[in-house]
Structure 1
């Protein structure tokens, strides 16, 4: 494996299809993992497992997911015969937060602190042991925060002193329709909530079905400014 040149990779992968980006990611990095939570991520698992059987997959268990989401994670594990590393929040941080603010403080003071404890901290722990990760981000999920990110990037939010973390976004240029065309064509497992009006699915208290013609992210943190709908996993999208 030759040294990875980010600038060259950004030029070579710009506008390329998801399989080409995935192949490049898996060819350049052995210590790499797919972040799994939604429909896009299972499409990536389906593609990646045909390129490399030993791909690492991890998922965040915030403790506030829908029952359907937990069943979905198990469905994916069994369907592909893979191990999924389930990441949980730090118990002491979570206990102190809930004791101080209760279970629904995000409706009053925003979701950032809750997400930081339930999502960002366990993700940071996981990414500290990786050289690169693969996400299901798409540009059209949020033009405010994801409209101009590249297919491959330095993850400034999770890189540290002496260690750079690379992030690949293979589905960046796909639409939701393309994702679902793939799911139907290849019989990819999906969350049962999608059959009940849910498109973008997060924690149960912070996710609701969307109305016809509403944007898919309208059902996430609906009480907040639409330009801030990132939980911190891709927080650099707001700061860019």
Structure 2
């Protein structure tokens, strides 16, 4: 497993103008310390857009593979932003789609919106449309860059900069782990980062269109995901499992 050097970095405040440069330093350090292929999975959300910008600023756009999980049920605004992002930064984001025959069988058996019938049905849909494509996207990668933040939910509170995905045998890199959403918003604004217009309409965490709604003041960031379910974790399984813990990972012993 790759070893990443320790630093004296601490959590940044929303008003800290040096925060983007510190993230650039984290990205460069991860590139230097994690041998092999690095892949950044983006959903084109606020954090992922900021990271895309900073990866480009770090001069790593050709060193990192960009990938997204196209579930087939994304908002039109996501596809527009996808195209704009590729054009803006001169890069290509590879799409990983679900297996067509598996999705066809699921729709036959539970209906096009059958995922609302039960949590089991919803998790089946998430597995086919997201988890299985993610495994294909990460195949052969040494490091996985994400836009996870510890403040996104209680389930993600333990998120650190460097984690080891024990099952996949790769290093998970979360350069924005100690940022707040407000900090990400301000940095995106200051740097002119293209963002999804749905954010301005209250859509904070954006997933598949049928499974995402806007939130109201006072609700948690992920309250708009699968809102008909009572499970407070609000996760699809990419990062947090059924027990509400970060899946298949342990945090590396580094000070960041």
Aligned to 1:56: 65
Corresponding residue for residue 149 of structure 1: 159
- Which consecutive unaligned segments of at least 5 residues does structure 2 have? 12-21, 247-256
Aligned to 1:125: 136
In the alignment, structure 1 residue 21 sits paired with structure 2 residue 26: yes
Answering whether residue 93 of structure 2 is matched by residue 84 of structure 1, we say yes
Structure 2 residue corresponding to 1:113, chosen from 96, 104, 124: 124
Partner-residue secondary structure (3-state), 2:163:
strand
Give the stretch that moved more between structures: 211-220 or 229-238.
Answer: 229-238
CA distance in 2, matches of 1:18, 1:231: 27
Q: Is the 8 A contact 2:148 2:159 kept in 1?
A: no
TM-score (structure 1 length as normaliser): 0.89
- The 3 A distance-change label for structure 1 pair 13 and 134 is farther
Mapped partners of 1:226, 1:88: distance in 2: 27
How many angstroms apart in 2 are the aligned matches of 1:132 and 1:53? 15
Q: What is the total number of aligned residue pairs between the two structures?
A: 229
Question: Residue 165 of structure 1 corresponds to which residue in structure 2?
Answer: 170
Contact 1:135-1:169 at 8 Å conserved across structures? yes
RMSD: 1.9
Q: SS at the partner of 1:217?
A: coil
Q: Does 1:32 align with 2:38?
A: yes
Task: Name the CA shift for 1:106/1:193 in 2 (closer, same or farther; >3 Å).
Answer: same
Match of 2:187 among 161, 170, 182: 182
With normalisation by structure 2, the TM-score equals 0.83
Q: 1:101 aligns with which of 110, 113, 117?
A: 110
Distance 2:170 2:231 in 1: 28
Task: For 2:116 and 2:29, locate their aligned partners in 1 and report how far apart those are by CA, in whole Å.
Answer: 41
3-state SS of 1:225 partner: coil
Q: Which residue of 2 aligns with 1:197?
A: 202
When residues 89 and 13 of structure 1 are mapped into structure 2, their CA distance, relative to the original with a 3 A threshold, is: farther
| Cα distance in 2 between the residues matched to 1:152 and 1:14 | 13
